[in-house]
Amino acid sequence: MAITHPSFGTLDDNRIIFFDTTLRDGEQSPGFSMNIEEKLRMAEALTDLGVDVIEAGFAIASPGDFESVQEIAKRFAKDGPVIASLSRAAAADILRSAEALKPAARKRIHIVLATSDLHMRVKLRMSREEVLEAVTGSVTLGRQHSDDVEWSAEDGSRSDPDFLCRCVEAAIKAGATTINIPDTVGYSMPEDMERIFTDLRSRVPGADTVIFSAHNHNDLGMAVANTIAAIRGGARQIESTINGIGERAGNASLEEVAMALRTRRDVLPFANTIQTPKILRTSKLLATITGFDVQPNKAIVGRNAFAHESGIHQDGVLKDASTYEIMTPESVGWSNSSLVLGKHSGRAAFRDKLRSLGYGEIGDNQLNDAFRRFKDLADRKKVVYDEDVAALVDDEVVRGHDRVKLVGLTVATGLGVRPMATLALEVDGERRDGMATGDGAVDATFIAIRNAFPHDVALKLFAVQSVTGGTDAQARVTVRLEEGGKLVDGQGADTDTIVAAARAYVHALNKLLVKRERTAPAEFRATASA
């Protein structure tokens, strides 16, 4: 049966709404925080990917979160996806979300309140009656600020079914237009999930006037299976994240749900707006921004997702790829461009490669900067692989607003020699030089950065990965810095591991500066500096 929704109009019963929470639940995982520019970049990529709703943040959580939601709302002031902000069942939270969302063309206030006996007793210290009153009060207030209100029953899957029905009924009566039943701690089995939605839809008065939504966590590795089960039970909105990032073991991964729906249309006859060929580049952009690659065997976007090494499989794939591939690599964005890039390639080939990798919308300035860096890389590397190009362009996009830039680095090192680094930074346009010796070339480089731009932080993680194979491969370095309990990750890629390390450190430093500014009291924010 078709349903009418304030943000989407009339929706066919087989239409699945993709609600992306990479920027909210995804960002809640340690080390995954993003600055405003990075969130805007991700929001644009998610829009390009075709998601229906972007949960941009939790407006009351910090001044920075408020600003991120507001900036994303401004970016989509004329059209675009529905922009959502999370709120507890508290007036201050709801008003803060409403304020941040004001500029958006389409907005959603998302209100959450736990309904399981455990959470109500231990965490909220509220009785069932108090929770019911809070559902009614908060959703009523939400509706005074937006036609589109989502109500979530935190820990819904572990809640008493009868009480959950009463809460959902109260939320619908107060005007909620989407009802989300999260499996907050990833406890459910698929059959539980299907039953929860079937029961609610058959038992709650008014259930046929709202959209039911599933939000599954992956603590037992069931998030995607549970999401599919929820759809079978009647959920028509699914909440997921790119690469499955999120609290603890993460959320259902958007790319896995989208490809399950596409690949198994025979048993899942549903429609959605996800442009699956854009999946890989969105996944890679997130990995570049956060500094965390997915594991090689990750479904859909892992390096090995379409790789075949054993002879029998290779023989099969050579005869007909469908013997061992249930979807084509191109359908999720792995390149099918036959052009091999190298030092003799020009702008046309570079642009073609970017298009085939899904970077259709890149601006001229970014293209020119990326092309310059590509030429520089091609001088040092025989073949520039797709992964190299993606690392290089994403690096360019992510670094666009940095206050501190690495402009020069020389390192002298060797057997029996104390390594020495000499470097130049540009800080807000002003050149600063630094020089230092250290226990190793990386140590010397990091001390030289601190000499050029004094700051007091702790290095918590230093990790090196190779972007492709071979001795001329680019190294991708991740650096985690800590300041006053705040953690940030920076990333850098280069054929020279020390240069990649310096880039990663400087990237982390820039994130820290943004974080410092975002959390400083308003009167200090204009003047905050290192």
Ligand X SMILES: CC(=O)SCCNC(=O)CCNC(=O)[C@H](O)C(C)(C)COP(=O)(O)OP(=O)(O)OC[C@H]1O[C@@H](n2cnc3c(N)ncnc32)[C@H](O)[C@@H]1OP(=O)(O)O
- Site residues, ligand KIV (CB under 6 A): 25, 86, 112, 152, 154, 180, 182, 184, 215, 217
Contact region with Mg ion (CB under 5 A), list: 20-28, 49-57, 262-270, 498-506: 20-28
Answer whether 208's CB lies under 8 Å from 3's CB: yes
The entry of ligand X, Mg ion, ligand KIV, none near residue 398 (CB within 5 to 8 angstroms by kind) is none
CA atoms within 13 A on the CB side of 292: 21
Residues 216-245 binding ligand X (CB under 6 A) are: none
Write the binding mask 59 to 78 for ligand X: x where contact by CB under 6 A, - elsewhere: -xx-----------------
Q: Provide the minimum distance between the beta carbon of 93 and ligand X in the complex, in angstroms, as a whole number.
A: 7
CA gap 110, 60 in Å, rounded: 12
Q: For the chain, how many residues are written?
A: 530
Residue 354 neighbours by CB distance under 10 Å: 23
Tokens representing 420? 């020495």
Answer whether 229's CB lies under 8 Å from 259's CB: no
Angle at alpha carbon of residue 213, lines to 212 and 217, rounded to 5°: 150
Q: Provide the minimum distance between the beta carbon of 482 and ligand X in the complex, in angstroms, as a whole number.
A: 18
Residues 23-82 binding Mg ion (CB under 5 A) are: 25
215 annotated binding-site participant: yes
Residues 350-389 binding ligand X (CB under 6 A) are: none
Q: Which is nearer to ligand KIV, 214 or 377 (CB)?
A: 214
The entry of ligand KIV, Mg ion, ligand X, none near residue 152 (CB within 5 to 8 angstroms by kind) is ligand KIV
The entry of Mg ion, ligand KIV, ligand X, none near residue 90 (CB within 5 to 8 angstroms by kind) is ligand X
Judged by CB under 5 A, does residue 150 bind Mg ion? no
Burial label for 430, CB within 10 Å (0-12, 13-18, 19+), is exposed
* Closest CA relative to residue 26, chosen from 177, 152, 298, 215: 215
Contact region with ligand X (CB under 6 A), list: 53-61, 256-264, 362-370, 512-520: 53-61
Answer whether 238's CB lies under 8 Å from 193's CB: no
Answer whether 196's CB lies under 8 Å from 227's CB: no
Q: Provide the minimum distance between the beta carbon of 170 and ligand X in the complex, in angstroms, as a whole number.
A: 15
Tokens representing 61? 């959580």
- Rg (C-alpha) for the chain, rounded Å, is 24
Q: What is the DSSP letter of 490?
A: E
Binding residue for ligand X (CB under 6 A) from 4, 121, 123, 363?
Answer: 123
Residues in contact with ligand X, total (CB under 6 A)? 15
Angle at alpha carbon of residue 475, lines to 471 and 478, rounded to 5°: 155
Judged by CB under 6 A, does residue 124 bind ligand X? yes
Q: What is the DSSP letter of 175?
A: T
- With CB atoms as reference, the residue minimizing the distance to ligand X is 88
Q: Which is nearer to Mg ion, 25 or 194 (CB)?
A: 25
25 annotated binding-site participant: yes
Judged by CB under 6 A, does residue 249 bind ligand X? no
313 annotated binding-site participant: no
Write the binding mask 162 to 191 for ligand X: x where contact by CB under 6 A, - elsewhere: ----------------------x-------
Answer whether 153's CB lies under 8 Å from 115's CB: yes
Binding residue for ligand X (CB under 6 A) from 6, 28, 422, 528?
Answer: 28
Q: How far, CA to CA in Å, does 320 sit from each of 218, 315, 324, 341, 486? A: 34, 9, 8, 27, 51
Q: Provide the minimum distance between the beta carbon of 218 and ligand X in the complex, in angstroms, as a whole number.
A: 14
Contact region with ligand X (CB under 6 A), list: 58-66, 101-109, 294-302, 327-335: 58-66
Contact region with ligand X (CB under 6 A), list: 84-92, 257-265, 304-312, 435-443: 84-92
Binding residue for ligand X (CB under 6 A) from 88, 108, 158, 236?
Answer: 88
Q: What is the DSSP letter of 440?
A: S
Q: Which is nearer to ligand KIV, 244 or 434 (CB)?
A: 244
The order of strands in the sheet holding 417-427 is 404-414, 417-427, 430-437
Residue corresponding to tokens 């009339």? 10
Q: Which is nearer to ligand KIV, 248 or 401 (CB)?
A: 248
Q: What is the DSSP letter of 168?
A: H
Q: Provide the minimum distance between the beta carbon of 42 and ligand KIV in the complex, in angstroms, as a whole number.
A: 18
Q: Which is nearer to ligand KIV, 184 or 495 (CB)?
A: 184
Q: Provide the minimum distance between the beta carbon of 28 and Mg ion in the complex, in angstroms, as a whole number.
A: 7
Q: Which is nearer to ligand X, 65 or 386 (CB)?
A: 65
Angle at alpha carbon of residue 100, lines to 5 and 211, rounded to 5°: 20
Answer whether 451's CB lies under 8 Å from 420's CB: no
Judged by CB under 6 A, does residue 55 bind ligand X? no
Judged by CB under 6 A, does residue 32 bind ligand X? no
Q: Provide the minimum distance between the beta carbon of 178 and ligand X in the complex, in angstroms, as a whole number.
A: 16
Who's near 152: CB < 8 A, 6+ residues apart? Answer: 110, 111, 112, 113, 180, 181, 182, 213, 215
Burial label for 193, CB within 10 Å (0-12, 13-18, 19+), is buried
Binding residue for ligand X (CB under 6 A) from 3, 90, 362, 528?
Answer: 90
In our burial notation (b when 16+ CB lie closer than 10 A, e otherwise), range 153-162 reads: bbbbbbbeee
CA gap 306, 291 in Å, rounded: 23
Binding residues (CB under 5 A) for Mg ion: these are: 25
Binding residues (CB under 6 A) for ligand X: these are: 25, 28, 58, 60-61, 88-90, 112-113, 123-124, 154, 184, 247
Binding site as annotated, residues: 25, 215, 217, 251
Binding site as annotated, residues for Mn(2+): 25, 215, 217, 251
